[in-house]
Amino acid sequence: MQIGKDLIVVTGATGQQGGATARELLAAGHRVRAMTRKPDGDAARALARQGAEVVRGDLDDPASLHKAFTGAWGLYALQNTWEAGVEQEEVQGMRVVEVARTTGIEHFVYASVASAHRKTGIPHFDNKARVEQKLRSVGFPSHTIVRPVFFMENLTSPWFKPSIDQGTLALGLKPTTKLQMIAVADVGKYGQLAFERHAALNGRAIDIAGDELTPPETAALIGQAAGRAVTHFQVPIEDVRKASADFAAMLEWLDAVGYNAEIGGNAKEFGIAPTRFADWVKTVRW
């Protein structure tokens, strides 16, 4: 590829993973077409100021995908289970692969999830595994799969932040379970790498993480950063299941099996220093 010449489309460019990847690519001098459903939003405007070409695109609108992908060399593709639902996310992923092949994308980077290939039985892992299979089957000139673990940023979401504000990390994991996590900024770095080393990484699927801690260790570090006591509460799994059977299945699998990204090995091979939770937690206003 030629930096500054070959065009890369980033889907979900105003979200967490897509936004981080778009920013890394732009900072490195790449041509970026940022696809979003809200091209007039603040996040899209910020990307435009950094040099991105912002276009409207919707994963449920094939015509908009054809328009967004046409003329591009590379594509960073992701879908969101929690917005689309498991079945529709898979439909979207398959559609993106098909449209990308039709429009001549040469290098496809798919943002999957760590351990998708391990037959976890978790609905929003297994659907991504099927999209991975589709991607491999259609014959792109090159492709790379990036599989991040649990986002550190999830802890600032409405799923966790309200209880943290009250002094409790309410997480349905055993206190002894080591949870691998990653900062979204690191996902963006791996996204950039997947394009710049496209030949060497052709066909690779890379599980990525930055740290691994037990819930009590995580709570203690949040408490230190917040300047108040924060403790872990193991939410009963049946209570989690009432809200989301998919999320409950993931927690049960994490307790029983867990992610297995090679944190040190990746850092050595790819030269990306992992963001440790103790450093990330200091960047958040708790």
Would you state the pLDDT for residue 80?
A: 87
* Confidence check: pLDDT of 21 > 80: yes
Does residue 147 contact residue 113 with C-beta atoms inside 8 Å? Answer: yes
Does residue 56 contact residue 36 with C-beta atoms inside 8 Å? Answer: yes
Helix (H) or strand (E) holding 75: strand 74-77
Helix segments in the chain, DSSP class H: 16-27, 42-49, 62-69, 81-84, 86-102, 123-137, 161-165, 184-196, 215-226, 237-243, 245-256, 263-270, 277-280
pTM: 0.95
CA distance 68 to 269: 33
Apex 194 CA angle, 257 and 46, nearest 5: 105
pLDDT, mean of residues 109-127:
97
Q: What percent of the chain has pLDDT over 70?
A: 100
Apex 183 CA angle, 54 and 277, nearest 5: 160
Q: pLDDT tens for residues 230-278?
A: 999 999 999 999 999 999 999 999 999 999 999 999 999 999 999 999 9
Does residue 224 contact residue 91 with C-beta atoms inside 8 Å? Answer: no
> Domains, the chain, ranges and CATH?
7-149+184-209+260-273 (3.40.50.720)
Place of tokens 């898979």: 90
CA distance 68 to 48: 15
Please name the residues in contact with 80: beta carbons below 8 A apart, sequence gap of 6 or more: 12, 15, 89
Q: What is the mean pLDDT of the chain?
A: 96
Q: pLDDT tens for residues 43-73?
A: 999 999 999 999 999 999 999 999 999 999 9
Does residue 110 contact residue 75 with C-beta atoms inside 8 Å? Answer: no
Would you state the pLDDT for residue 234?
A: 98
* Confidence check: pLDDT of 1 > 80: no
